[in-house]
Amino acid sequence: MIKIKLTPKIKIDSELNLEELSNINISKSNKKKIESVKIKYKNKICFLRDIFRIETKTNSINKILIKKSNNFFQNLGYKWQSDSLEVFGNAGSFLGANMRGGRIILHGSCLNFLGSNMREGEIIIKKNAGNFVGSSDFGNLIGMTNGKISIYGNAGNFLAYRMRRGLIMIKGNVGDNCGYLLIAGTIVV
């Protein structure tokens, strides 16, 4: 088992697309493979090592830790399949979008489309989430189809829009149109 810790080397002040981060198969990765993962920053393709200081060590579970994140960190946990992703700071839109398994914990708030089209897994948000939690994204008729999302703060508008199955728990308040066109699933506020 391995733990990977990613800390930005530079101030992230523009969109950082981390969609490809989910391609890391932790159990089969070494530091060299991890460093060469391609990501997009300011619409330019670069390597993970160009943006992040990468530390690896053995651990009891496979885990990726991301420190000092902000709202420019887009698509974190996109198509996440297994293992654990823990993020310290805020996150942008599409956190856990198309997630297929594993666990994501965010120690902060996130923007829109949290868990959109999620198929399996668990997402925990320690603060607030934006609009369209567990909903379908652009061009899709069905949103979240399974899994669990827990938000310890508030959530925005259109929570569970077109959700098929799953569980969404909110400890705070929810914006307008909660459960709009909900097909099935459970919402607890």
Output the pLDDT for position 46.
96
User: How far is Cα of residue 49 from the mean position of the Cα atoms in its chain?
Assistant: 20
3-state class (DSSP) for residue 32: helix
User: How far is Cα of residue 13 from the mean position of the Cα atoms in its chain?
Assistant: 19
**Binned average pLDDT, 10 residues per bin, the chain of 189 residues:** 91 96 73 90 95 88 92 96 94 97 97 97 98 92 95 97 95 96 93
What count of other Cβ atoms lies within 10 Å of the Cβ of residue 75? Answer: 25
Output the pLDDT for position 100.
94
DSSP 114: T
Give this prediction's pTM: 0.94
Output the pLDDT for position 25.
61
Output the pLDDT for position 84.
93
Q: Which letter, b or e, does each residue of 124-157 get, where b requires 16 or more Cβ atoms within 10 Å of its Cβ?
A: bbeebbbbbbbbbbeeeeebbbbbbbbbeebbbb
Distance CA 183, CA 189 (A): 18
Output the pLDDT for position 28.
67
Output the pLDDT for position 24.
79
Output the pLDDT for position 101.
94
Output the pLDDT for position 62.
85
Output the pLDDT for position 31.
81
Strands (E), the chain: 2-8, 16-17, 38-41, 44-47, 52-58, 63-69, 73-74, 84-89, 100-107, 120-125, 148-151, 167-170, 186-188
Output the pLDDT for position 140.
86
